[in-house]
Amino acid sequence: MKTMKYFFLLITGVWILFLIQGCASTAEQEDIYGGVIEEITKGIDTTHVSTLSEENKLLREQVAKLQAQNTKLQSEKNELERDLRSLREGNAQLTAKISELGEQLEAEKQKTRELSAKLAQYEALPQPGAGETELRNEIAKRDSEIAEYKKQIRDLQAKLAELETKVATQPSKTPPAVVGGEVKLVYPGIIPETPKIEITEKQFKNYYDLGLREFRNRRYKKSIAYFDTLLQSNVETNLKINVVYWLGENYFALKQYEKAIEYFNYVSQTKSTKTPDALYMLGRCYAALGKIKEAKEYMSRVLKEYPKSPVAKKAKDRLERL
């Protein structure tokens, strides 16, 4: 308000000076100018004007500081985004490598099984020839390669778990697992007795979500890599039964029906929410293998034991078509 008052006084003074300039002589004008200027400046508080000037200077300095801070924060944000992108790229590369090594490991296991079968044939002969020694050496070589693949997979899984810790954002708390029956006596290799990978519950949930995402995107081998890691982890959770189920789904999608049957059979012997789904998928596996009798038995079990389950209607429709 004071500033407006001073401005008004100044404008009034200028207007009076113009009027005087047209009516008075030069000497008279100088006297009048002096009087008017003196009268105007009497009403101006020079202290207040000085204070406003100082405040304006301080505000400019603060604006400059804020702009500098904003530039610094933007730079830090860009750097963090680059780091995050780098971590995610590393994550994807490690996952792909694990999947690739898993395929190589499975191939080596198959070769070892074939060599073992040949060796058994030689051992059954009364006088084994030189071929037995060659087979033994070949098997030993394959066993060494398998051990090396397993070591590489463990190392990559450890690195992958470390990367997942850095990019994880969603925490998860799950209760202990509840497994019914004597499942481990039927398929002791599905869930290891001794965990091989140390991860947190948060990492477990993130791996689980990533495995589901890869399955839904039809990247089945990558999905298997995530779920296999979870089975070997130290985390005790009900989701491990779900992990076994989704491994079965992945192998079914890859048309590896015998492999899928192992996982679905494991889940079918538990008291979990996935049990009726596992029975239904067992029926589908046997149907795909041309074993219609077994397929009908499993579809019938779904209707008999879990008539109110969401999968019961699908089991009924499949049974009618078999």
Q: Is the dihedral of CA 302, 307, 312, 317 positive or negative?
A: positive
Per-residue pLDDT of the chain (322 residues; tens, 9 = 90+): 545 555 565 566 555 555 555 554 455 555 555 565 555 555 555 666 677 778 778 888 888 888 888 888 888 888 877 877 777 776 777 777 777 777 777 777 777 777 767 666 655 555 445 566 777 777 877 787 787 777 777 777 666 666 655 544 333 333 333 333 333 333 445 776 666 788 889 999 999 999 999 999 999 999 999 999 998 888 888 889 999 999 999 999 999 999 999 999 999 998 899 999 999 999 999 999 999 999 999 999 999 999 999 999 999 999 998 8
What pLDDT is attached to residue 195?
66
- The residues facing 197 across adjacent strands are 233
- CA distance to 67, 72, 114, per residue, from 63 (Å): 6, 14, 77
- CA distance to 129, 148, 322, per residue, from 108 (Å): 25, 11, 38
Please report which residue ranges of 125-238 form alpha helices under DSSP H: 130-167, 183-186, 201-216, 220-231
Distance from C-alpha of 322 to C-alpha of 314, rounded to nearest angstrom? 12
What pLDDT is attached to residue 217?
95
Distance from C-alpha of 43 to C-alpha of 24, rounded to nearest angstrom? 25
Q: Where are the domains of the chain?
A: 93-167
Query: What secondary structure letter does DSSP report for 273?
Result: T
What pLDDT is attached to residue 185?
31
Angle (CA) 146-147-152 rounded to 5° is: 95
**Phi-psi region at 203: left, alpha or beta (left = phi > 0; alpha = psi -120 to 50):** alpha
Q: DSSP letter string over 1-62?
A: -HHHHHHHHHHHHHHHHHHHHHHS-HHHHHHHHHHHHHHHHHT--HHHHHHHHHHHHHHHHH
User: At what angle are helices 2-23 and 26-42 packed, to 10 degrees?
Assistant: 170
What pLDDT is attached to residue 286?
96
- CA distance to 105, 213, 263, 273, 319, per residue, from 100 (Å): 9, 19, 21, 32, 38
- CA distance to 118, 139, 141, 156, per residue, from 145 (Å): 19, 10, 6, 17
Distance from C-alpha of 118 to C-alpha of 258, rounded to nearest angstrom? 23
Q: 57 is written with which tokens?
A: 């200077």
Predicted TM-score (pTM) of the model is 0.44
